[in-house]
Structure formats: C-alpha cells, structure tokens
Structure 1
Amino acid sequence: MSGFAEKPEPVQVPGLVHLHTGKVRDLYRNGDGDLVMVASDRISAYDWVLPTEIPDKGRVLTQLSLWWFDQLTDLVPHHVLSTDVPPGAPADWAGRVTVCRSLDMLPVECVARGYLTGSGLVEYRETRTVCGLALPAGLEDGSELPAPIFTPATKAEVGEHDENVSYEEVARRVGAETATQLRQTTLAVYSRAREVALRRGIVLADTKFEFGLPAGETDPESLVLADEVLTPDSSRFWPADVWQPGRAQPSYDKQFVRDWLTGPESGWDRGAGTPPPPLPQKIVEQTREKYVEAYELLTGTPWG
C-alpha cells in the first residue's frame, strides 16, 4: 500500500476545473481548454507523498523546468503557453503556474541513463541488463555507461510504482515509429542536458521525460515535451568533483530524503505499508538547500 500520507483538498478557483491531484502537481483546465499545472511543495518518495512539504520546492521545479525548456527548443517543442496566474487564484500560485497545451500524452516514462544506479543497478546485479539491454561486466554503483541508454517505464498512478519495461514493450504499446522517435528524442535531449550540466559541475546521472502529441495528431515527429523537465524530482544530479563509482553519490536531488527515510533515525519500516513519518525540520531545510543549489548551479542565477 502507498499513496498520500495526507491527501490535500484541491483549491477551487473561479473559471478553472480541477482535473487531477498528482504527487506534486495539481492539474486544472481553463475556459480556453488549456491545462493549468500548479507545482506544490509536496515531496514524494518510495511511492508515498510525504506529510511534510519543502518550502519553495514547487517554485524551484517550475522555474528550473522553464529554464530547461528554453535550452532545448531546437531539439523538441514544449507544451508551455504562458506562466500567467489565473485571475482569482491564490497569491501562493505565483511562480508555480504553467499554462500548457492540452496533449494526448503517451503512456511511457522515457528514462535516459548515462550512469548506473537506482533500479537500473538492481536489475544489472541480477541479470547484467537494464530494461533488456545487455551491459558490460564489472560496473558498480555510479559507473558511467559506455553510452547513454533508453530505459523506459510504465507511467503509474499515485500510489503505484513505475515499472521498467523493454523497448519492445514500448513499441507494442505506442507503435514502432513512435517508439523509435521517443528513444531518439529522449537520448538527444539527455545528451544535450548532460553536456550543459557538466559544464556547470554537475553529473546528470539519469532523468525521465514525458511526451505527448497534439490532439488528433499521429505523426511521431510531432512529439511535444511536457510535464516537468530535468528537475531534482525527475533527475539524479551529482556533484562532478566528488563523483566516484563504487558507492552512493552525494546528490542535489531527493535521494537525500530517501536516505533519511530508510535510515535508523526515521524509524520507518518501508515494507510495513504504513505512511512515512513527518520529516524533521533539519531534513526539510537541507532538502530545500539542495533543490535551490541545483537551480543556482544549473542556471547561474541566484534563487529569489
């Protein structure tokens, strides 16, 4: 069992229809038929949305995504129409809102990996493969792969777990041409972002993207990059100057929270099916610092 430790009530705003409350974002539709995505300060780990929020997290995710969309426009179009806060919305929505094109989203988490860690490492240790792709012997936690790989996953609902699948399974679900385009675009965007991040002293170990097609469109070359992109929630960012294969890496992402939850201090039994405990203030503050530091290092702009 998993899901929300404490599920929030959606904010009601005149002229907006609430569509969905996700792990981090709330989704609305406006009178023009566009989507209004609002990034909260919620944080999730191990398929649970935690009962403690991280101040400014939603703004960091939104502003960093917008920065990345600008870096990638020559590779793939994105879904952002504006960042205007709808009339009548809470003041707290400022900096969190993305007004987006409504797309037919493809049912695939498009994951790119340049380094071995996480669920990829678990699978590699069992079979020496990741999502059916054979890898060389002797790789360790944090090892750089010979070349970036496309390791897709199914998109899960809140409380469910994304599940790694093979490329062949993606082709079965979305068609061979669309699967090919997803793989090519995912790896192209990852490679660009990896170069940008490394110039700023950050290793982009892996990341996940979501893509959609304009309503009624079937041409795979019409892919649109959607949702968030290259944030500490969707990516693993490691400081390049201390990267060292063979151990868990320091990070600028929510791995810090995962480590606390599974450590002795939290007292939480991940396998018991009970919600995680609230985060201590020191963990909240340190997590916020990591998100802000990632933003500042990548964009070269002071936060706030």
Structure 2
Amino acid sequence: MSTPTSEANSIPGWRHLYSGKVRDLYASADPADTRILVVASDRVSAFDFVLSPGIPEKGALLTQLSRWWFAQLDFPNHLAQGEIPAEVSDRAMLAQSLEMLPIECVVRGYITGSGWIEYRESGTVCGIPLPAGLQNGDRLPEPIFTPAYKAPMGEHDENITFEKTIELVGAERAAELRAASLAIYARAASIAGEHGLILADTKFEFGTDAEGTLRLADEVLTSDSSRYWDAAAWESGQTPSERMASFDKQIVRNWLAANWDKQGEPPALPEEVVERTAARYRELIKRLTA
C-alpha cells in the first residue's frame, strides 16, 4: 500500500497530526483547544491503495456532501462550532476530538462488491447467511450490518463477523453500533430514494466523546464511502453493469480491476477516468441537494 503524504500547506494556528488515505488531520496550536481540523484531500483510493492522479475538487465536493448529510440526520455527530481557516474552508470540517472505534460500520441493502464475491463462494456475507439465487445488484430481503476491522496504516481492512465486533468493542457497544448504523442507513436510503437514487451500501465510522456519547464521525454518505445507483436504471432489468449506473468511485474500481493485477503499485488513472469520476461526484450532489 502506498503511504499518503499531506497535500495541504501549512495552516496558521494548526499543527499537522496525521494523513490518512484521503484526509489530513490537524490539531489546534492552542493547547486548550481540543478540536480537530479534518481536511479532505483530492486523493482517491481503491482496494486500499492511494491512486494517482487525484480527482479535481474531490475534497470540496465530498466535504459539501458530508455537511449536507450531517444536517439531514438526527444523530449526534462530530461537528464542532468555530471558524474554519480560509486556506481550507471549502474542504474542511471542524470536529470534536473523539476516541474513534476500530470498526467500519458497513450496511448493505443490495449485494455487490466484496459482499457479492463472498456470497458466490459461501452463500454468506460476513458470515450472515443469505437466500440462494441472488444476482449481483439484487436488493436484499432487509439491510444487513457487515462490519470491518479498521486496520492500522499499511495494512488492509478486514471484513469481520458481528461476534468479532463484540470481541473488539464489547457486546453493548457492538449492539449500539449495529442499531445506529441500520437506523441511519434507513433514513439515508429513504432520502436518496426521494431523489431517484438507490443507496446500495455505505460505511459509517463512530467515536465517543469525553462523556461517552456515541457520535457519527469522519465523512458520511459520500461518493467515497457509499455506492449510489440510479433507481430508474436499476429497475430497468438490464444487465448488472448497465442497471447499476453509479454516482461514486465505481468507475475507478472497474478500471483498476480491468487494468491491474493488484501486484505492486497501481497504474496511473487515465484522464478520462478521472474526469468521469469527478462528473459523477458533481451530479450526485446536484441530484441530492436540488
């Protein structure tokens, strides 16, 4: 896995803490200020690799989408009050400092991606048995919670069972994560449906504040953390690749799968793939927020 570096310039009053695959974190230079500045970059990742080049305006687009979704959801989140530095105002969120939980809370309402691969092999997704005869892109009888373990930098995230989640965070917290994730997904899927979109799957990240309150953190329901499909195309009965017209980075995943054997560093993305991905990000925001 390639290791990202911070693309942001020095931000007056803030100290760089960490660079993830697509975000950079900063702490206030004031020791009394515990807030965190979460800066979204234009970097794009797939299959746990940071790719080149980035997607123009991606950081700003995904930040705009996260802010919009946080406002739609009736659940405590990580956003904090205060002025965001002008240097990153369009692609940053001011957040509370949280104790992040090591679980990616994935909810699937439709079967595709890694879930489809596992289902074909064993009839399950993250150990959850599913009905026989499902096809790629089919709606599940009901949404399922399929967590993943957030691996340390340099390692791959790993799909895990709910029982493993209990081992990692305890039974009470695991149940709370599952219930919150399914409820937030249901609310978001309903909103997406009102705009002619299917929220096929998504992943949430949570942390706890100083009082122990569970809060939705990081990005939420963005084109990077979710699969969005065009509802009319899905209902048309075409082949899976045609019916699942996507508004996310599936274009990038598809190109990589066809042009890279996952050995060594991934190849550079063609300009056409970059432009198409950026256009789909913009279209999703337009459709949701119009």
Determine if the TM-score, normalized by the shorter chain, exceeds 0.5: yes
Counterpart of 2:250 (choices 240, 247, 255) is 255
Question: Structure 1 residues 83 and 42 mapped into 2: Cα distance closer, same or farther (>3 Å)?
Answer: farther
SS at match of 1:78: coil
- Give the letter aligned to residue 84 of structure 1: E
2:145, 2:182 within 8 Å by CA — same for their partners in 1?
Answer: yes
Name the counterpart of 2:288.
298
Q: What are structure 2's unaligned runs of at least 5 residues?
A: none
Name the counterpart of 2:78.
79
1:209, 1:225 within 8 Å by CA — same for their partners in 2?
Answer: yes
Residues 1:210 and 2:212 are matched in the alignment? no
Counterpart of 1:241 (choices 215, 232, 241) is 232
Counterpart of 2:135 (choices 124, 134, 140) is 140
Name the counterpart of 1:163.
158
SS at match of 2:117: helix
Name the counterpart of 2:278.
288
Instruction: Summarize the alignment of residues 18-33 of structure 1 with structure 2, pairs less than 5 Å apart.
Output: 18-30=16-28, 31=30, 32-33=33-34
Structure 1 position 14, deviation (Å): 2.9
Instruction: Summarize the alignment of residues 93-242 of structure 1 with structure 2, pairs less than 5 Å apart.
Output: 93-215=88-210, 217=212, 222-242=213-233
Scaled by the length of structure 2, the TM-score of the pair is 0.93
1:140, 1:246 within 8 Å by CA — same for their partners in 2?
Answer: no
The 1-side partners of 2:164 and 2:215 are apart by 21
Question: Structure 1 residues 52 and 83 mapped into 2: Cα distance closer, same or farther (>3 Å)?
Answer: farther
Structure 1 position 258, deviation (Å): 1.3
2:106, 2:145 within 8 Å by CA — same for their partners in 1?
Answer: yes
Structure 1: which 4+ aligned runs deviate by more than 4 Å?
none
SS at match of 1:282: helix
Scaled by the length of structure 1, the TM-score of the pair is 0.89
Structure 1 position 9, deviation (Å): 5.5
Name the counterpart of 1:53.
54
- Give the letter aligned to residue 78 of structure 1: N
- Give the letter aligned to residue 214 of structure 1: D
| Equivalenced residues, count | 283
SS at match of 2:84: coil
Deviations 1:36-80 (A, max 9, x none): 0001111111111112011111111101001100110x2x11111
The 1-side partners of 2:43 and 2:59 are apart by 8
1:114, 1:148 within 8 Å by CA — same for their partners in 2?
Answer: yes
The 2-side partners of 1:147 and 1:290 are apart by 27
The 2-side partners of 1:82 and 1:261 are apart by 40
SS at match of 2:64: helix
The 1-side partners of 2:226 and 2:238 are apart by 18
1:143, 1:246 within 8 Å by CA — same for their partners in 2?
Answer: no
Deviations 1:89-111 (A, max 9, x none): 63xx1211101000111110000
Structure 1 position 10, deviation (Å): 5.3
The 1-side partners of 2:257 and 2:114 are apart by 16
- Give the letter aligned to residue 198 of structure 1: G
Structure 1 position 193, deviation (Å): 0.4
The 2-side partners of 1:29 and 1:206 are apart by 32
SS at match of 2:158: coil
1:213, 1:223 within 8 Å by CA — same for their partners in 2?
Answer: yes
Structure 1 position 127, deviation (Å): 1.1
The 1-side partners of 2:283 and 2:151 are apart by 29
1:84, 1:97 within 8 Å by CA — same for their partners in 2?
Answer: no
Percent identity among equivalent residues? Answer: 52
